[in-house]
Structure 1
Amino acid sequence: MIKVAAGLIAVAAGLFFILPETFLEAPPTTEAVPNVSASFEKLASLPGAVGESSGIAVLQQKGHYLTHNDAGNKPYLYKLDEQGELVETLKLKLKNVDWEDLAQDESGNIYIADTGNNNNRRRDLAVYKVNLKNPQQVEAIQYSYEDQKKFPPSKKDQNFDSEALFWHDDNLYIITKDRGQGETAKVYQVPAQAGNHKAKLIGSYKTGKEITGADISPDGNTVALLSEERIHLFRDISSPDAFFEGDYNEIEIKGTGQTEGIAFEDNSTVIITSEGGNLYRYKL
C-alpha cells in the first residue's frame, strides 16, 4: 500500500508540472468587479433641515455643496460642507411644487429642476435659473414634452416624470423616471434660456431602473445617472446629445438607500446624497 500511495503522489506531482495551466489558471471572468469599499465613503449625515435631499451641486468653494428638499417642503437651497454642517440657507421666492435635481453651468448659475411629475398630469413644468450672488434673481425656463399628448397618458406610457437634470453648452438635458414600466430613461433637450419651450426627445436608454439623478463630468466625457443604490456610467461620449451611446457600466453601491442626488466633484469623483439623509463620495 505504501508503494502504491507513493506512486500516486509521484504521478500527481508529475501532472502538476507537466500541465500547470490545469491547476493554476484562475476561472475565467467576463467583467472586472469594482472594489466599491475602496472607492466609496460616507462623508457625513445631512443636517436635520435636509430631511429629503433630492439633488446636489458641487460649489466652487472646495468641500462645499448645495442641496434641497423635494415636494411638500420649503423653496430653500442649503449650503453644506463635507462634514454635513449647514453653512447657509437661501430662501427663494418660488414655489416648490416638486423640486427634484440641481444642475450648474460654467458661470456658477444653479438650475433647479421643478420637474417632478409623479402622476404625469403637470402642465407647469419648469427649471429655475438662480444666480447665487443674487438668489432672488430668478429666470423661469418653462417646458412641455413634445411627445406628451395626454395628461395623464395610459399607465404603461407614464414616462414624463423627471428627477434628473444636467447642463452642457447652454442646453439642459432632462432624463425621465419611467413610472409606467420602470425600464426606459428618455432624454430630452431644452435651451437653458428663459421662456416657454418644447422639450425635444433626443434619445433613450433601457437602464431597467428608475433614474433619480444625473450629471456630466467637467471635461464632458462622462455622464452619470443615478438610481436607488446604483450609478449608471456612460464614458467616452462623443457628445452629450448622444451620451447613451457611450461605454456603459453599472456600479452597485449597497447600503446607501434611496439615493437621489449626484454631481461630479472632478472628472473621476462624484458626490451623492440619499433621501435617508447621508452625504457620500465615490471615486470612479
Structure 2
Amino acid sequence: MNRLPWYTFFALCCSFSSCLTEADPQQDNYWSTHVPFRVSYNTFSMPVTEKWIPLPENLGAVPLSEASGLAYSYQNPGKIWTHQDSGNTNILFLLDSETAEIVAKYRIEGTVNIDWEDIEVSFGPEENITYLYISDTGDNNLRRNQYTVYRIKEPVFEEAHRGQTITLSNLELDQIDFDYPDGSHDAEGLMVDPETLDIFLTTKRSTFSKLYVLPYPQENGVRNEAVFAGEFGFRDSSAATTNLQGDKVLIKNRQEIFFWERQMGETMVEMLARTPLRAPYIGEPQGEAICLDPNNNYFTLSEELNSSTPPNLYKYLLSN
C-alpha cells in the first residue's frame, strides 16, 4: 500500500493542526453526554458564499445510470471514486477528474451492495494511510434493521488496470455494522472527521435531515449503535463530504449545497450546529454525489435523467 508523499502529508497535517480543535472529545466521554442540536433557518434567503466561482466546468458525461457518491482519490491524484446504489453490484468506478471517463473498475470482494449511498476518502486506523469509507445505508422504505459502513485502505491504480474490472480480494476489510437508537433511517450522506475518525451520516427522509455519528473506534464485525448528534434546518440530504483537513464541509440535497467552514477550537458537530452558507449549484436531474479535491474545488454528479441522458461531472472552482 502506497503512503501519502511526505510533503503532502506534512502540508495536510500543518493545515489540519492549525485550524482544528486541540481537544480530544473521546477523552471526556464526549458522545455519552452529547445533547443533540436542533437548528432552524430559512434556506431560501440564505446567502451564497463567494468562495467558489458560480458556474462550474462541465467535464463530460459519465456512463452510469445511478451514480450515488463521489470521493477524490489521494492515492491516485487526478482521479475520483464513485459507485452506484441499490440494484447494482459491489463495484467502485475510478474516474478521470479532467475528462470524466471511467479509467478502471474495482470489485470489492467481501462486500454486498444492498444500497450504497455515499463514499469518502479520509484517514483511518493506520496512521498516514488514506482509507475508503463506503456507506451501505440507503433505506427508501425504512425497513432495514441493520446498516453497514465498509472501510478499506484506498486501492492504488496501475496502468495495467486501465479499462479493466479488477477484483480486489484478501483485503483488510472493516465491516462496521450498526443500527440507530430510534428506528430505521435512509442515510444518503457520509463524511469522516479526519481529526477524531468519527463517521457522520446524514438522513434524507426525516422531516428535517438528521445527523448521526459512529464514534471512533468503531467495532469491526459486531453491531454498533449510532448516536443522534443533531437536526439540520433543511430536508432531503443526498450527499455529504469534508476535505482531508476537516475544515470544510459540504452537504447537498436535490436543490442546494450547504457549506460550513471550521473555526479554531470547534468540533465537527459544533461547526454543523451553526447556520451554513449556500455554495453555488446549477442544479442536476437527481444530484446525489459531491466531493472536494485537495485544492478545495468541488465536484458533483447526478443519477441519469429518464434512463436516457448520461449525467455530467461538474467541477466548481475555488475563486481565490
With structure 2 as the length reference, what TM-score do the two structures score?
Answer: 0.69
Whether 2:159 is the aligned partner of 1:143: answer no
Whether 2:116 is the aligned partner of 1:99: answer yes
AA matched with 1:212: S
* Residue from 230, 233, 238 that aligns with 2:256: 230
Whether contact under 8 Å (1:223, 1:243) holds in the other structure is no
Whether 2:309 is the aligned partner of 1:274: answer no
1:45 is aligned to: 61
- Cα gap change, 1:30/1:104 in structure 2, threshold over 3 Å: closer, same or farther? closer
Structure 2, unpaired ranges of 5+: 1-44, 124-128, 157-167, 305-310
Whether contact under 8 Å (2:122, 2:244) holds in the other structure is no
1:164 is aligned to: 189
Whether contact under 8 Å (2:53, 2:280) holds in the other structure is no
1:187 is aligned to: 211
CA distance, structure 2, for counterparts of residue 36 and residue 267 of structure 1: 11
- Cα gap change, 1:34/1:86 in structure 2, threshold over 3 Å: closer, same or farther? same
Please give the secondary structure, in 2, of the residue aligned with 1:242.
helix
Q: Which stretch shifts more, 256-265 or 234-243?
A: 234-243
Whether contact under 8 Å (2:46, 2:277) holds in the other structure is no
Please give the secondary structure, in 2, of the residue aligned with 1:97.
coil
Please give the secondary structure, in 1, of the residue aligned with 2:282.
coil
Greater RCO, CA 8 A, separation 6+: 2
* Residue from 82, 85, 93 that aligns with 1:70: 85
Whether 2:212 is the aligned partner of 1:197: answer no
Whether contact under 8 Å (1:217, 1:267) holds in the other structure is no
- Cα gap change, 1:89/1:192 in structure 2, threshold over 3 Å: closer, same or farther? farther
1:130 is aligned to: 152
- Cα gap change, 1:249/1:130 in structure 2, threshold over 3 Å: closer, same or farther? same
1:262 is aligned to: 290
Please give the secondary structure, in 1, of the residue aligned with 2:225.
strand
1:116 is aligned to: 138
Query: 1:25-61 CA deviation, whole Å, 9 max, x = no partner?
Result: xxxx995675976542221211x3x221100110023
* Residue from 98, 103, 106 that aligns with 1:90: 106
Larger Cα-atom Rg: 1
2:5 is aligned to: none
Whether contact under 8 Å (2:118, 2:190) holds in the other structure is yes
Whether contact under 8 Å (1:36, 1:253) holds in the other structure is no
Q: What is the total number of aligned residue pairs between the two structures?
A: 240
CA distance, structure 2, for counterparts of residue 145 and residue 109 of structure 1: 24
- Cα gap change, 1:268/1:131 in structure 2, threshold over 3 Å: closer, same or farther? closer
- Cα gap change, 1:39/1:236 in structure 2, threshold over 3 Å: closer, same or farther? farther
Q: Which stretch shifts more, 227-236 or 67-76?
A: 227-236
Whether contact under 8 Å (2:133, 2:150) holds in the other structure is yes
1:57 is aligned to: 71
Cα offset for 1:247? 4.8
CA distance, structure 1, for counterparts of residue 104 and residue 70 of structure 2: 15
CA distance, structure 1, for counterparts of residue 96 and residue 83 of structure 2: 14
CA distance, structure 2, for counterparts of residue 39 and residue 265 of structure 1: 17
AA matched with 1:185: S
> Structure 1 vs Structure 2: percent identity of aligned residues?
26
Structure 1, unpaired ranges of 5+: 1-28, 152-159
2:38 is aligned to: none
Moved over 6 A (4+): none
Name whichever structure is richer in strand by fraction: 1
CA distance, structure 2, for counterparts of residue 118 and residue 270 of structure 1: 27
Please give the secondary structure, in 1, of the residue aligned with 2:270.
helix
